[in-house]
A and B are shown apart, each in its own frame.
Chain A
């Protein structure tokens, strides 16, 4: 049995997920809570955001994010990969910063425009 606090809405239901019983969720008040609980128990994922260096007079850093959620366990490693990156302006929102993290098809993309 694993315990979670649901984050789908502000209510914050206390969920129990039974891994041995096909990830049955209890304590939820709605279907979205059930899906959240099951996802957290099976394979928790997060969108990861950070910054990378950029060769700009105005902006030392460019913010980035993963364009899809990645496994929670991969967050630290993904962030370390960003240390190697330096962007050269112009940068556009959505530009790929690191393509296909760990060969997964998920990219780090820029989240702002930097003109110069």
Chain B
């Protein structure tokens, strides 16, 4: 381990592995990955089901296989890896950034670097976050915690199970618990539609005849030492439980799949600007945050449905971090290369910039800011819609003078499926004003 790195990647899951790989390929020699677990791979290691990699590797892999391929790719590249370690604090500086790290092997270390990639991922919302009334009995788990117990530790967490929330992890765990011999009595979703992929509804619930109750929630958990019974009720359009719709389930286990939160304690403490819509950093087109030299990618930036898109995003963040470091260390050489290959000019910090502003139909966009001068040819804008659309609609980008800069047709959209569009550099150069509004509109 060195005292100074060109790049430190915080997190050794798919995002960190992708960013480190592309930064190495982009010309950096001294890269450190800091990982909290005892091994690389992140949450993919516990996602033993298949369905990963169709976009990126062109075949269907399980989570451990996908992680294995990313890890194998780093072999022999000379990237330092520090597992079983925590990044305690990032202290941004003008010339370089400093990090406080602590690990069983290396002890406490203060390390400096020129660039940081934030790749800490996300964590699950808990019972506390949604405030289910009732006793504090054992047997209430987030779906991902149960997944770790069952798939990594080899411990069953219960015999009679109810699942609150129809996110993908909850659906996957419905199947997993059933195959391991538990009885999954129901999956209960507050919203009138499921947040999970259709494929998971079919293959994890319908295959095993597990009922899915939409517009329902758990209103009470009973049990002294262990969960004994839960009450499920239908909710009205304001999500208020409706009297007289009570159903009672005798269960010993409640699994929660009620959303994921990007894990940005480090970013916030470092002063990185956070977007309240994504709970992740506000980023420019190259995934650089509001602090120069600090980049973000993967679920710490916004929660993805597919790991393939995490890999794609992390590779661009890693490339951008490499370009940032090389530009600083050898300004002349890089300026020459910019002119030869990318057509970029000048310091991106000086470039003019506009914001992407989602209207009430769009949950968020990533990136949130674009500097047209820093876009090579195209910029991909990722977004989620707020409600499902079953009929064709268009996504419209309007500039500060309400002129339509671009529009894209989509035959159907759902909040559970992240969408993206590709904006060309030529369009961006024509934007007037300091923002682009994004909205879902009827096709005219």
Contact = CB atoms under 8 A, between A and B. Distances in A.
Contacts of A75: 179
B202 A112 contact: no
Given A47-B50, A93-B68, A65 B153 contact: no
A72 B45 CA distance: 25
Interface residues of B, number: 32
Contacts, number: 73
Interface stretch (A3-11, A20-28, A99-107): A3-11
Interface string B168-187: 00000000000110000000
Contact of B48 (A60, A93, A111): A111
A65 B68 contact: no
Interface string A1-45: 000111100111000000000000000000000000000000000
B62 A111 contact: yes
B154 interface: yes
Contacts of A10: 197-198, 412, 414, 417
B198 A12 contact: yes
Contacts of B154: 51, 53, 60-61
Contacts of B180: 50, 79
B411 interface: yes
Interface string A49-85: 1110100001111010100000010011001000000
B150 to A, nearest CB: 8
A57 to B, nearest CB: 11
Q: Which has the most chain A C-beta neighbours within 10 Å: B154, B180, B411? A: B154
B50 A49 contact: yes
A49 B198 contact: no
Q: Which has the most chain A C-beta neighbours within 10 Å: B39, B179, B207, B417? A: B179
Interface of B: 38-39, 45, 48-50, 60, 62-65, 67-68, 150-154, 179-180, 197-199, 201-203, 206-207, 411-412, 414, 417
Given A49-B48, A61-B154, 19 more contacts: A5-B202, A6-B198, A7-B199, A10-B197, A10-B412, A11-B411, A46-B207, A49-B62, A51-B48, A53-B154, A58-B39, A61-B151, A63-B64, A65-B50, A76-B179, A79-B180, A93-B64, A111-B48, A112-B45
* 3 tightest A-B CB contacts, nearest first: A7-B199, A112-B64, A63-B48
